[in-house]
């Protein structure tokens, strides 16, 4: 069969969609064989060979050579086989060319179905490849569905991919509705047991805030200011430690921006979530003091072996240092890597006084 137009179309698809023509031909051969068997009722095994060099498509029906009488149409006796192929042996596959009655129609229908499916597969594969490159990035998305269990499905703008935003990756208290335009953090690509790939996105990850700083702060984006660590309780508070290798760069000032413009833009994107920008220090005590900002710290006692710190604050700053529900101290501990125990000044002084009294009592001489 001559079909120059079909093969030229395959060349065009390969060039435009970057689909391997050999893979496409293999898919077409399998599809044509299946379509021919269905249309003709052929019970024998059928194979199709497409030759792009001379633009031909050939159909072959095969039978296995057996000794004695064949048991079904897929078998052929040795005598019959040698009429086709003189040197045929038992166990050989012997084929003959068969011609469909309506070959052009079968080829056209099958080609359309196979090419459409392959193009769709290629587009999905290309989209998934692009999404793999987008892991750890922020992207615009539109809310498409809100499930009863709280899971939100979003369409990632500029792609054909749907993202899944589980309830655990959402900001607590944030209400999302169909049609809302939001930013999402591409967390990972997950493939299930059926081979279906899903883009898992987040709005609560610390990486979400990190990327916002890269967008809003040129010094962070260029690497002049570096984010040492970042911790977040989504919807409530974020703490990030920054520094620069260049002593002439004001790391905190760069992140805050003129009149707070940069950090305020980030806070607005986070719907009012508090953001503490802290200057990193390699001195653990100093870093802990800064991490407990905005509270004032009087003293830090470190146990570097056990990675613990006892922090003393003024009585009237205790609640500020600990934070509502212990949040400020908890985030400071996660940021610095130290378990932090915050104590008020009067309690520490009272404890020291009690220890001194006890020691003084133990040193008094026994009465004679």
Instruction: Return d(Cα 88, Cα 70) in angstroms, integer.
Output: 15
What does each C-alpha distance from 25 to 20, 106, 109 come to in angstroms? Answer: 9, 15, 15
Name residues of the chain where pLDDT drops below 70: 1-2, 101-104, 107, 192-196, 353-368
Specify the pLDDT at position 367.
45
Sign of CA dihedral 142, 146, 149, 153: negative
The pLDDT assigned to 364 comes to 52
Give the per-residue pLDDT at 11.
87
Structure tokens at 112: 């359309």
User: pLDDT value at position 210?
Assistant: 97
Domains and CATH numbers, the chain: 4-131 (3.30.1480.10), 134-202 (2.40.50.140), 205-280 (3.30.300.20), 294-363 (3.30.300.20)
Is 315 in contact with 346 (CB distance < 8 Å)?
yes
Which pTM does this prediction carry? 0.68
Q: What is the per-residue pLDDT for 103?
A: 62
Question: CA–CA distance from 356 to each of 101, 148, 311, 314 (Å)?
Answer: 108, 62, 21, 22
| Sequence-separated (6 or more) residues with CB below 8 Å from residue 326 | none
């Amino acid at each position: 069969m001559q079909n120059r137009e079909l093969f030229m179309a395959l060349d065009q698809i390969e060039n435009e969609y970057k689909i391997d023509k050999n893979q496409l031909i293999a898919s077409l051969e399998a599809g044509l064989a299946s379509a021919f068997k269905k249309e003709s009722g052929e019970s024998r095994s059928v194979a199709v060979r497409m030759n792009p060099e001379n633009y031909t498509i050939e159909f072959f029906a095969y039978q296995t050579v057996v000794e004695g009488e064949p048991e079904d149409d897929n078998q052929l006796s040795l005598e019959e086989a040698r009429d086709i192929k003189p040197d045929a042996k038992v166990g050989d596959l012997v084929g003959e060319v068969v011609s469909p009655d309506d070959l052009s129609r079968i080829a056209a229908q099958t080609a359309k179905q196979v090419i459409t499916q392959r193009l769709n597969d290629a587009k999905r594969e290309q989209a998934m490849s692009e999404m793999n490159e987008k892991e750890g990035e922020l992207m615009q998305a539109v809310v498409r569905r809100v499930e009863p269990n709280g899971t939100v499905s979003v369409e990632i703008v500029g792609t054909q991919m749907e993202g899944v935003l589980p309830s655990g990756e959402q900001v607590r208290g944030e209400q999302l509705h169909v049609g809302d335009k939001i930013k999402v953090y591409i967390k990972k690509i997950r493939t299930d047991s059926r081979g279906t790939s899903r883009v898992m996105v987040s709005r609560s990850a610390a990486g979400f805030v990190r990327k916002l700083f890269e967008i809003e702060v040129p010094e962070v984006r260029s690497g002049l200011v570096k984010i040492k660590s970042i911790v977040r309780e989504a919807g409530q508070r974020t703490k990030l430690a920054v520094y620069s290798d260049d002593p002439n760069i004001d790391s905190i000032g760069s992140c805050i921006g003129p009149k707070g413009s940069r950090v305020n833009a980030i806070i607005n994107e986070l719907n009012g979530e508090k953001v503490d920008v802290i200057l990193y220090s390699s001195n653990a005590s100093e870093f802990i003091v800064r991490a407990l900002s905005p509270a004032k710290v009087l003293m830090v006692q470190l146990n570097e072996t056990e990675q613990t710190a006892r922090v003393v604050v003024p009585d009237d700053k205790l609640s500020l240092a600990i934070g509502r529900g212990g949040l400020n101290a908890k985030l400071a501990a996660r940021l610095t890597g130290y378990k932090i125990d915050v104590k008020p000044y009067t309690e520490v002084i009272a404890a020291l006084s009690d220890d001194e009294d006890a020691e003084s009592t133990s040193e008094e001489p026994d009465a004679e």
